[in-house]
Amino acid sequence: MKRLISILLLAALALGLLAACSDEEPTPEPTQAPANVQVQAGEAGGLPADLLAVANERGLTPQDIRAALKTYVPSGKMDEYYLFSSGGQSGNVVVIGVPSMRILKNIAVFTPEAWQGYGYGDIGTEEVLDGGNVDDTKIRMGDTHHPALSETNGDYDGQFLFINDKASARVAVIDLRDFETKQIVKDPNLISNHGSSFVPPNTEYVIQTSQYATPLGWEYAPISEYKEKYRGLATMYKFDREKGRIDMDNSFSIELPPYWQDLCDAGKLGSDGWAFCNSFNSEMATGGIEQGNPPFEAGVSQRDTDYMHIFNWKKAAEIAEQPGKTEVINGMRVIRIPTAVEEGILFLAPEPKSPHGVDVTPDGKYLTVAGKLDPHVTIYSFDKIQKAIADKKWTTDEFGIPVLNFDDVMLAQVELGLGPLHTQYDDKGNGYTSLFLDSAVAKWTLGGEDPAGYKLVEKLPVQYNIGHISSAEGGTVSPDGKYLVALNKWPVDRFLPTCPLKPQNEQLPDIGSDQMNIIYDMPMGIGEPHYAQMIKADKIKAWETYPEVGWDPITQSPSEFKTMPGQERIERDGNNVEIFMTSIRSHLTPEHVTLNKGDNVTWHITNIETAPDATHGFDLGGQNLSLSIEPGETATFKFVANNDGTYAYYCTEFCSALHLEMMGYMMVAPAAAQ
């Protein structure tokens, strides 16, 4: 009886919660054909009677059927594109197949993840995470925003993926041969980044700008010294493609005013060598509502224009090599503002109003800037910018940086709607801009040199509060068009409720036809996706298994701890114990590991399988350890056997009929028994 009451109570509570959570929602505008429009024979390509019956029973409209046909990928068939989406506050990257929108993998980046064995065991992947520690604080979270695929000649080459952590100014490198994170670097002079990650057409660098300004050198300074001491930075992380690593010794930064730099994009083709970044606090507001100051959201939005930052990174890279042109701050070479101005590296241009996204067109000739509080997008011409620079037609800001005249560099403005944020392009000369406040995607034409050629074509409602969009191969010199993923903030009424925290979601508009249509809704099941990049599937050359047995995935080379059958052993040297183990269906060798309390243990496991998919996991109870040892991999972990007792270790992947037997005992003898 008591049990029944508590079940009823729980049910009532759940209902109450559901009701409360739907009460809060804004009522969405109806945006799709009502579900009760029946499909008639002859529609939808003359469906056979049995299919017609299914469609009508499920209340599908002809448009629904079209959408299903365009996205359904039959069992065993593959998607056409990979979409690499940021996983926001979950600190990872989500890999999605397009057009099916099936999730293929979450790549653990800034956050430990047990299935992938990422971030456990003191060395290996835990050392990768430690690369992003802030001083001696271990950082085990991340806020990923902008993935960037590596490029060759302005096209995605499918080799590497970079992504930033906005929270702690870090950038990670993912190797797309095995979809694993290889490196995390921390900018020593910043605590938040946002304009990252962006790469130039040949990925010589990974570009990053700061978001919230902090004192130069990331020192302490009271907020009252904001103008004097607080600064932004553009950091050019040198990328060593051979090694697959960011080379911090050859990276450098350019000092920027404390204007809160936002998104960036790299030039391409004719504008290669340049980078463009927005900012949204040229007011240099410092908040402090508790002292009677204007709150940040008002203080930061006072002026009608902010500044686009235009910098010549190629020239900056040359300057950074010259003696006396940089100052080394916390080990990083920094080009200070006066040097940047003197060398003609850094310029500003006004942009309306609280700008967010800046996106270079595929031909590299134009930049689209979207201002959150301005209903237009503004198109700048790279040629006009170059001419204004050559003519030295500028005023200066209070840091002495040249400010080009808006009218000299602006080419066109297109009124699109409320809250424009981000722009992508297709292969037919169109731009697509997300409208956050309108919850819509606007399609508009690029007019080349003719300002009258920039025109709004169509608006597609999306559900809801759209942020970024991502078109197929959209960041390249040759976009495919075809699909455009909308990364939305709120689903409101799109999915079964999981209140109060609802799934963030992505929608798939079809942009291959004359009229845009949403053809798929996909809940993320994980943090807020900001940006994503979509690459043709055949450009990714992922390994089926590691190239040889005994492979170290961190260094992507043979491991010195490779252990083959017959070589399994336990070596003891005083308190130091080293274990060389193999795993194969269905045993772990050795099966007994005997230790003494206090032993320092280093444990290597080689998965000697060569068959695709024959992964063995490894969990060791009581040690906060989870490994995924893929075919051919040698993994290593370390711990101190601090607690005596009897422990079981076992394989976590149901790899064979005798998987449950794939285990062993670790016995740690107490001091008295030794």
One-letter identity of residue 206: V
Which residue lies nearer to ligand CUK by CB, 382 or 531?
531
- The secondary structure element, H or E, covering residue 299 is helix 296-299
Fill in the DSSP letter of residue 134: B
501 burial via Cβ count (<10 Å: 0-12, 13-18, 19+) = exposed
Bridge partner residues of 144 (DSSP): 88, 165
Binding residue for ligand CUA, selected from 170, 182, 268, 616, defined by CB under 6 A: 616
Fill in the DSSP letter of residue 661: G
Peptide linkage before 112 cis (omega within 30 of 0): no
Binding flags for ligand CUA, 518-557, as an x/- string (CB under 6 A): ----------------------------------------
Which residue lies nearer to ligand CUA by CB, 83 or 614?
614
Per CB under 6 A, contacts with ligand CUK among 506-565 are 530-531
Binding residue for ligand CUA, selected from 172, 487, 516, 655, defined by CB under 6 A: 655
Per CB under 6 A, contacts with ligand CUK among 444-503 are 467-468
Contact 126, 110 (CB under 8 A): no
Per CB under 6 A, contacts with ligand CUA among 447-506 are none
Q: Is 309 in the site for ligand CUK (CB under 6 A)?
A: no
Contact 597, 669 (CB under 8 A): yes
Position of minimal CB gap to ligand CUK: 467
Binding residue for ligand CUK, selected from 171, 263, 411, 627, defined by CB under 6 A: 263
**Rounded to whole angstroms, what are the CA distances from 321 to 316, 330, 403, 487?**
9, 17, 26, 40
Q: Is 259 in the site for ligand CUK (CB under 6 A)?
A: no
**Rounded to whole angstroms, what are the CA distances from 81 to 292, 371, 480, 539?**
52, 30, 11, 9
Phi, psi of 3 (to 5 degrees): -65, -45
Considering the complex, what minimum distance in angstroms separates the CB of residue 150 from ligand CUK? 19
Residue 182 touches which of ligand CUK, ligand CUA, none (Cβ within 5-8 Å per kind): none
Q: Please tell me the distance from the alpha carbon of residue 197 to that of residue 206, in angstroms, as a whole number.
A: 6
Which residue lies nearer to ligand CUA by CB, 170 or 616?
616
Considering the complex, what minimum distance in angstroms separates the CB of residue 636 from ligand CUA? 18
Q: How many residues bind ligand CUK (CB under 6 A)?
A: 11
For the chain, the maximum distance between any two Cα atoms, rounded to a whole number of angstroms, is 88
Among 590, 508, 526, smallest CA distance to 80 is for 508
Fill in the DSSP letter of residue 632: T
Per CB under 6 A, contacts with ligand CUK among 190-219 are 194
Considering the complex, what minimum distance in angstroms separates the CB of residue 109 from ligand CUA? 26
Per CB under 6 A, contacts with ligand CUK among 382-421 are 421
Considering the complex, what minimum distance in angstroms separates the CB of residue 589 from ligand CUA? 12
Q: Is 356 in the site for ligand CUK (CB under 6 A)?
A: yes
Considering the complex, what minimum distance in angstroms separates the CB of residue 270 from ligand CUA? 55
Considering the complex, what minimum distance in angstroms separates the CB of residue 654 from ligand CUA? 6
Which residue lies nearer to ligand CUK by CB, 422 or 482?
422
Q: Please tell me the distance from the alpha carbon of residue 313 to that of residue 363, in angstroms, as a whole number.
A: 19
**Residue 602, both tokens:** 């280093």
Q: Please tell me the distance from the alpha carbon of residue 558 to that of residue 648, in angstroms, as a whole number.
A: 29
Among 183, 332, 319, 329, smallest CA distance to 250 is for 332
Residue 421 touches which of ligand CUK, ligand CUA, none (Cβ within 5-8 Å per kind): ligand CUK
The residue ranges that bind ligand CUA (CB under 6 A) are 616, 651, 653-655, 659, 662
Please give the residue ranges that form the binding site for ligand CUK (CB under 6 A).
145-146, 194, 263, 356, 421-422, 467-468, 530-531
